[in-house]
């Protein structure tokens, strides 16, 4: 357990922060976060915890010897389970990619969706009125689906290998979203031009399908987001038939650091605008820094764009 003087806020004492997952040898998180916390003058150190065994990952999280942990594949459901309090972003995704310790509480968040949307908007995509298709049925996919809805998309389509599985996951998400939207005071839009929490629920048409049965919807989508792990291993195919891609579409692949994925290569060949996951990683990291500093009562005078540029440069990304 991190030890600090009685009454001293975390901002004034050395703290340990980590990225947890497997495999994470390619992760740029340590260099990004250490650059940010050094710039902010905080005595914090960010390291990597690459644990292939789920029992070891569980033991690490339960020990709580950290201020904050970023969670990546495959431990987002585990982080969600162990969180003692969960933000709406984590509840709707059924997975947490950030855990922050505050006193006896372990608070779970999911910043994947906000990071994905912020990165795409920085690149020039406008979600308002668009048709967005998201590949995958895990926590990252749901977080992105939700963020796209709040960014103003007209249609949000969840795609998976199995249509029934996609339907089950989407219905659970919509049911949870409806309960939260009606049971709480409406949360304002997080960014200018976005919808409030309740407005997005009322506005967006949520749909589901499979890669084999939703070919027309894939071809008609303005933006296709692949939030599956495909592309992390050499030779991985795209999740759907890339002959459906065409110029005018945007394609985003959440994978980064493994070379050009089959989906990104096909999208570029088809004349679509294609991006990999590097910018999303940086954008969600900026959101995470803002959350952790707020909870730790640490001064954070840098704006989003300044933090983004700092962390992208530290990672060696041109985004």
Report, as residue numbers or ranges, the catalytic residues.
76
Q: Which residues pair with 16 in a beta bridge?
A: 45
Q: How far apart are CA 312 and CA 241, in angstroms?
A: 32
Q: How far apart are CA 286 and CA 280, in angstroms?
A: 10
Residues 6+ apart with CB under 8 A from 63: 1
DSSP string, the chain: -----TT--GGGS-EEEEEEESS-TT--HHHHHHHHHHHTT--EEEEEEE---HHHHHHHHHHT-SSEEEE-TT-HHHHHHH-SEE-HHHHHHT--SEEEEETTEEEEE--HHHHHHHHHHHHT---TT-EEEEE-SSHHHHHHHHHHHHTT-SEEEEEESSHHHHHHHHHHHHHHHHHHHHHSPPPPPSSTTPPPHHHHHHH-EEEEEETTT-HHHHHH-SEEEE-SSTTSSTTPPPSS-GGG--TT-EEEE---SSSS-HHHHHHHHTT-EEE-THHHHHHHHHHHHHHHHHHTT------HHHHHHHHHHHHT---
CB 39 within 8 A of CB 315: no
For the beta carbon of residue 2, count every other beta carbon within 10 angstroms.
Answer: 14
């Amino acid at each position: 357990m991190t030890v600090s003087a009685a009454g001293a806020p975390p901002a004034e004492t050395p703290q340990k922060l980590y990225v947890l997952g497997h495999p994470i040898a390619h992760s740029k998180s340590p260099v990004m976060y250490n650059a940010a916390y050094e710039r902010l003058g905080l005595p914090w150190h960010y390291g990597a915890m690459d644990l292939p065994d789920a029992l070891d990952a569980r033991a690490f999280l339960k020990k709580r010897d950290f201020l904050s942990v970023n969670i990546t594949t495959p431990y987002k459901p585990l982080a969600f389970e162990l969180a003692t309090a969960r933000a709406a972003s984590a509840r709707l995704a059924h997975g947490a990619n950030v855990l922050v310790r505050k006193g006896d509480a372990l608070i779970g968040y999911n910043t994947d969706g906000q990071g994905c949307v912020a990165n795409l908007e920085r690149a020039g995509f406008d979600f308002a009125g668009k048709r967005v298709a998201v590949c995958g049925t895990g926590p990252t996919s749901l977080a992105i689906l939700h963020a796209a809805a709040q960014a103003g998309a007209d249609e949000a389509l969840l795609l998976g290998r199995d249509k029934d599985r996609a339907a089950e996951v989407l219905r659970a998400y919509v049911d949870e979203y409806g309960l939260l939207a009606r049971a709480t005071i409406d949360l304002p839009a997080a960014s200018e031009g976005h919808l409030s929490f309740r407005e997005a629920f009322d506005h967006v048409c949520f749909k589901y399908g499979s890669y084999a049965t939703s070919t027309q919807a894939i071809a008609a989508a303005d933006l296709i987001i692949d939030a599956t792990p495909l592309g992390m291993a050499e030779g991985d195919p795209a999740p759907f038939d890339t002959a459906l891609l065409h110029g005018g579409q945007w394609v985003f692949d959440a994978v980064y650091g493994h070379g050009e994925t089959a989906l990104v290569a096909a999208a570029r060949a088809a004349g679509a605008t294609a991006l990999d996951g590097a910018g999303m990683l940086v954008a969600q990291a900026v959101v995470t820094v803002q959350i952790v500093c707020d909870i730790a009562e640490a001064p954070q005078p840098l704006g989003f764009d300044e933090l983004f540029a700092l962390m992208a440069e530290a990672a060696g990304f041109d985004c």
